[in-house]
Amino acid sequence: MRAVAIVLLATLGACDLVDGGAAPADAAIDAVATDAYPPPRTDAVPALGSATTLDIACWNIENFPATSRTPAYVADLITSLDLDVIVVEEIASLAAWRELLDRLPAYDAVLSTHAYTPTSYQKIGLIYRRGLVTVGAPELLFVTDSYGFPRPPLRVPVTVGALTVDVIGVHLKAGADAADADRRAAAARTLDTYLRGHLAGAGDPEFVVLGDYNEALTDGSQVLAPLLAPDAYRMRTAAAASAGEASFIPSGKIIDHILTSVALDGLVGDRAAVIPPLDVQFPGYLGNVSDHLPVVLSLPQP
């Protein structure tokens, strides 16, 4: 069996704290078959996924839900894009999260149990295609490092055919101040140490780091320097960043990135991450869904 570790890195683009209600009693939340909602649309936007690829995305959906329409729109977009594994950030309402899953009968999900306080949080969630993907027990990482990780990373073992994947969602500190950047830099160093341990044999040497890093590659910042080392990593969003594409719409820059380990070069080859222009393709996207666009990497399906 081929083992691959996928790390999904997710930071807030706008804020760190919202009032979202009590944390759930458990992390695993299955979609519920229901006749309360119509099937999600399959033609809302052009598909990126296919039956021959494993299509992995990260998506900051900005204080979900933005409006009462947001769960339906997100369900339509996930289904239309034909994605298999999606890490979402900024889940701020458990009721809306459950509605989203009810609107996605082909998917199940895991939600972080972490909360800033009993009533305030923005959670990381993992949505996965039922039948193709199975998951193991979730785990929170770095729980004592609140400086680098205000939200403990969420690790979820994922299996797709012969491919076993450790999916780890990391939600770094937001903000443009130097102090905020210092905290993200500390997180990058911790992640680098952790990932190099896997490369050295302490875990699976093959991994993918996806999410909202809150740092643009074109800014010359040293914040992400440990994760840009060519002996260990490949930044799959580098080409899109050089081309002037954007994942965080207000900034016009890519701050949501996908990184792979050198051990995955044989599988991934020269594939680059893509950013679907949902703000152009889907009317009302900015007001009803998010100010971030998803970032997607398609791998050969095992």
DSSP β-bridge partners for residue 123: 91
Give the chain's domain count: 1
Radius of gyration of the chain (CA): 17
How large a percentage of the chain has pLDDT more than 90?
55
Question: Which stretch of 159-163, 202-206, 218-222 has the lowest confidence by average pLDDT?
Answer: 218-222
Q: What's the whole-number average pLDDT of the chain?
A: 85
Q: Residue 117 pLDDT > 80, yes or no?
A: no
Q: How far is CA 162 from CA 41, 301, 302, in A?
A: 30, 9, 6
CATH of the domain at 93: 3.60.10.10
CA distance 28 to 137: 8
pTM: 0.89
Q: In terms of pLDDT, which residue wins out, 211 or 14?
A: 211
Pull the structure tokens for residue 139: 């785990």
Q: Which domain holds residue 141?
A: 2-300
Average pLDDT score over residue span 13-17 = 45
> Is residue 88 within 8 Å of 64, Cβ to Cβ?
yes
pLDDT at 26: 39
- Name the band, by pLDDT with cuts 50, 70 and 90, for residue 189: very high
Q: Residue 6 pLDDT > 80, yes or no?
A: no
- Name the band, by pLDDT with cuts 50, 70 and 90, for residue 34: low
Q: In terms of pLDDT, which residue wins out, 263 or 83?
A: 83
Pull the structure tokens for residue 142: 């770095």
Phi-psi region at 62: left, alpha or beta (left = phi > 0; alpha = psi -120 to 50): left
Average pLDDT score over residue span 42-55 = 96
- Name the band, by pLDDT with cuts 50, 70 and 90, for residue 218: confident
| pLDDT tens digit sequence for 226-246 | 999 999 999 999 999 999 999
